[in-house]
Amino acid sequence: MAAAAASRSGVNKDMKMASAEQLVLDLINPELRENVLLELSKKRELFQNLAPLLWNSFGTIAALLQEIVSIYPVLSSPNLTTAQSNRVCNAFALLQCVASHPDTRMPFLNAQIPLYLYPFLETTSKSRPYEYLRLTSLGVIGAMVKVDDTHVISFLLSTDIITPCMLAMEMGSELSKTVATFIVQKILLDDVGLNYICFQAERFFAVVRVLGNMVEALAEQPSPLLLKHIIRCYLRLSDNARACYALRSCLPYMLRDATFSSCLHEDPTTSRWLQQLLHNVHVSGLQAGAEITIAALKTEQCAPILTPSASSSDMEEAVFYLENILNYSFKDTMLLLSMTSFLDLLFPFIKISLGSVYGSSVLDKSFVMAGSNIHCAEDLVMHCIGFDHMLVTTELKQCKFHPLERNS
């Protein structure tokens, strides 16, 4: 009996494989392709080793790419039909099969086939035909990142996958937003991805802005799964010292209060992530913020600005940076810095700014920083006068906050 059952199982397996092989062969026939795409996409889970068969069969991948490229002209118009969308979605389903298989993932990547998907992620229409394409193309990328592989992450970053993912996080349906956020999460969980996103402030704040917008939307229409991916993204960002410092000012307040308590009530894992995130931002961000402030004032942010030939745009950047330092990290910095050390960091800003249109603004901000300590304020004024008595006198008159006058 057992032998007979095994024999029947082997026969069924051979029949399925023969059926799959025939369907794959039929893909290269344009007249049969539409029905074959539908049939294969429905039964792809039943066919073992379908991915290697698709990849190694002559002309098959080219036929799938032909289906994808043929629809490019209508992506920028409102004329995409449901039938056209479904046909390409079936092709995407087969590509997802290839992208997720261990034997075909890297050849698929090396052929740069994911690039053919990006135009579908950049569409802005919310109608169903476009949304189906957006979701299924995201599904292919999602299948690639499910397995932790730095090579995959590096490839995706080199092709700027973050930008189309952020667009999908803004424009897509709840399901598309969830898959796109999952992709960003998997990228962040890789050290290469975390460093890439946190390396440039502009890139970091772009990602945080999109995450924050989704949090606000979820307050109106909760989605536990999407919220879970968002919180995991924030938590991973908090592993980077710079990002953790920045999150002290830009983490949505709805994640700090009880807005999502009911949503997370039955999800202890996400609740634990959120508590860890808040701890990181409050404790680690405090220390990191002070250390980063000191280092940045000394080197990275100031070095290109603090020269006698600084342009007006350089000075504007310096003032903007100072304002951010003041708004978010002064109290934390002063915990680690003596007043003398603090003034030593601040003086180069003041010296270069005197006489420029930003002089009074720099002084004003400096006095706000020093105002809690009258001796610090007096030292600040005396050092400024040492730079240029007439300029400082003029600038002091324009300051909104003058500690010596206030305390006289």
Q: Give the pLDDT confidence of 273-282 residue by residue, as tens digits.
A: 999 999 888 7
Share of the chain residues as helix, strand and coil, in percent rounded to the nearest 5: 80, 0, 20
Q: Which of 31-35, 268-272, 368-372 shows the lowest mean pLDDT across its residues?
A: 368-372
Average pLDDT over residues 390-406: 45
Clarify whether residues 160 and 24 are in a common domain.
yes
Please determine, for residue 393, whether its predicted confidence score (pLDDT) is greater than 80. no
> 157 pLDDT exceeds 50?
yes
* CATH number of the domain encompassing residue 212: 1.25.10.10
Residue 297 has what DSSP assignment?
I
What sign does the dihedral 186-191-197-198 (CA atoms) show?
A: positive
Q: Are residues 393 and 358 in the same domain?
A: yes
* Burial classification of residue 9, based on how many CB atoms lie within 10 Å of its CB (0-12 exposed, 13-18 middle, 19 or more buried): exposed
Q: Where does the pLDDT of residue 2 fall: very low under 50, low under 70, confident under 90, or very high at 90 and above? A: low
CA angle 391, 374, 381 (to 5 degrees): 15
Q: 179, 208, 236 — which closes off a domain?
A: 179
- Cα-Cα-Cα-Cα torsion 362, 364, 368, 372, nearest 10 degrees, comes to 110
With a pLDDT cut of 70, the percent of the chain lying above it is 65
Q: Say if residues 134 and 123 touch (Cβ distance below 8 Å).
A: yes
Q: What are residue 400's phi and psi, to 5 degrees?
A: -75, -30
Within-domain flag for 171: yes
Q: If we measure between CA atoms, which residue out of 38, 37, 47, 61 comes closest to residue 12?
A: 47
- Residue 256 is given by DSSP the state T
Asked whether residue 325 falls in the same domain as residue 379, the answer is: yes
Among 103-112, 144-153, 278-287, the least confident range: 278-287
Indicate whether 337 belongs to any domain. Answer: yes
Answer whether residue 188 is part of any domain.
Answer: no
> What phi and psi values does residue 348 have, to the nearest 5 degrees?
-60, -35
The answer to whether residue 221 sits within a structural domain is: yes
Q: What confidence tier does 150 reach under pLDDT thresholds 50, 70, 90?
A: very high
pLDDT at 355: 53
Residues 358 and 271 in one domain: no
Domain boundary residue, one of 179, 212, 242: 179
- On the 0-12 / 13-18 / 19+ scale of CB atoms within 10 A, 107 is middle
229 & 330 share domain: no
- In-domain check, residue 218: yes
Q: What's residue 384's pLDDT?
A: 52
Would the pLDDT of 39 be above 60?
Answer: yes
Alpha-carbon separation of residue 114 from 95, 106, 111, 152 (angstroms): 9, 11, 8, 11
Sign of CA dihedral 360, 364, 367, 369: negative
Residues 256 and 369 placed together within one structural domain of the fold = no
If one compares 260 and 249, the residue with the highest pLDDT of the two is: 260
What's the rounded Cα separation, in Å, for the pair 66 and 190? 33
Best-predicted range by mean pLDDT (53-57, 361-365, 369-373, 403-407): 53-57
Residues 293, 344: one domain? Answer: no
Question: Within this chain, do residues 174 and 253 fall inside the same structural domain, yes or no?
Answer: no
End of a domain among 300, 334, 359?
Answer: 300
Over residues 348-358, the mean pLDDT reads: 55
Q: Is the pLDDT of residue 373 over 80?
A: no
Q: Is the pLDDT of residue 199 over 90?
A: no
At 307, give phi and psi (nearest 5°). -135, 155
Claim to verify: residue 77 and residue 206 sit in the same structural domain: no
Provide the residue range defining the domain that includes 209: 200-300
User: Residue 263 has what pLDDT?
Assistant: 87
CB 278 within 8 A of CB 244: no
33 and 174 housed in the same domain: yes
Confidence label for 381 from pLDDT (cuts 50, 70 and 90): low
Number of structural domains in the chain: 3
User: How far is residue 344's CA from residue 248's CA, in Å, rounded to a whole number?
Assistant: 26
Same domain, 388 and 339: yes
Buried b (16+ CB within 10 A) or exposed e, 234-256: bbbbbebbbbbbbbbeebbeebe
Q: Report the 10 Å Cβ neighbour count for 64.
A: 23
Find the mean pLDDT for residues 222-250: 92
| Domain annotation covers residue 192 | no
pLDDT band at residue 330 under the 50/70/90 scheme = very low
Residue 53 has pLDDT above 60, yes or no: yes
> Residue 404 has what pLDDT?
40
Residues 285 and 316 in one domain: no
Residue 189 in any domain: the answer is: no
